Structures are given as C-alpha cells and as structure tokens.
C-alpha cells in the first residue's frame, strides 16, 4: 500500500522558516500534479500550493511570496519551503497528488491522506 509521509514540521517563532517534505513509497507523486494543504483546529482543510508535473507552481494568496513548492520526481518527493512564517500559518500540513493545479476551485485529490506534519508558529 503506497503511503504519503509528511515531515519537517515543528515549532518556530514568527518570521522564521521551515521546509516540509512529502514522500511517497511509490510513484504517485512523480507521475501526478501535487498539492500542499493545511488544516487549522476547527477549520476546513485548505489548499495552499500546487505544482504541476513539469514544475509550474501556483499559490493561495495568503502564502504568495512566502512559500515555495518544489518537487524532485526522482525521489518521489514534494517540498514546501515556508518563509516569513506567521502565527496564522499554524496548522497541520498535508500533501496529496491532485487532478489539476488550480487553487480555486481546488482539484480532487487522488490518494488517501497521510498523517500530516504539525507547524506551530509562535508570536
């Protein structure tokens, strides 16, 4: 069973940086567009960044200029570099292969969710 495994979260002060990784045991990431999502307590999961198979990226407005999504298809891994972090970025972060690259409306996901990685930004 192919699984998505997110890592790299942690506790950071406002203005700091973190780099998240999402690795799949099979080729589901390298053969698909991919997206990073986040879910804060009491809120719905939201899509924050997408990347096409060829590396074209799109971002939700609140993270534009601060987050960078990238991919290494040879490693079946997608990354999210998060800079200038804000307390409102606090959430559990997840990745998933997706059927398109639009932010709005968000495209359907193609796989079961992983366990996510928690990002906490203190003020």
What are phi and psi for residue 14, nearest 5 degrees?
-55, 135
Asked if residue 73 lies in contact with residue 6, where contact means CB atoms within 8 angstroms, the answer is no
What pLDDT does 17 receive?
Answer: 98
Asked if residue 5 lies in contact with residue 117, where contact means CB atoms within 8 angstroms, the answer is no
Sheet (strand 33-39) strand order = 10-13, 117-122, 91-98, 33-39, 46-51, 57-59
| pLDDT for 26 beyond 90 | no
What pLDDT does 2 receive?
Answer: 80
Reported as a single tens digit per residue, the pLDDT across 57-114 is: 999 999 999 999 999 999 999 999 999 999 999 999 999 999 999 999 999 999 999 9
Query: Between 27 and 94, whose confidence is greater?
Result: 94
> Among 66, 87, 90, 97, which Cα is nearest to 3's?
97
Q: Percent of the chain having pLDDT more than 90? A: 95
What pLDDT does 44 receive?
Answer: 96
> Among 63, 117, 57, which Cα is nearest to 88's?
63
| pLDDT for 1 beyond 90 | no
């Amino acid at each position: 069973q192919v699984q998505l495994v997110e890592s790299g979260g942690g506790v950071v002060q406002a203005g700091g940086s973190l780099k998240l990784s999402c690795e799949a045991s099979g080729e589901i990431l390298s053969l698909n567009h991919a997206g990073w999502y986040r879910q804060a307590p009491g809120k719905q999961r939201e899509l924050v960044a997408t990347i096409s198979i060829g590396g074209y990226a799109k971002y939700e407005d609140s993270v534009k200029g601060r987050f960078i999504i990238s991919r290494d298809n040879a490693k079946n891994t997608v990354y999210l570099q998060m800079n200038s972090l804000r307390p409102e970025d606090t959430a559990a972060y997840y990745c998933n292969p997706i059927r398109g690259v639009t932010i709005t409306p968000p495209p359907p996901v193609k796989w079961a969710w992983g366990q996510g990685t928690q990002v906490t930004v203190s003020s």
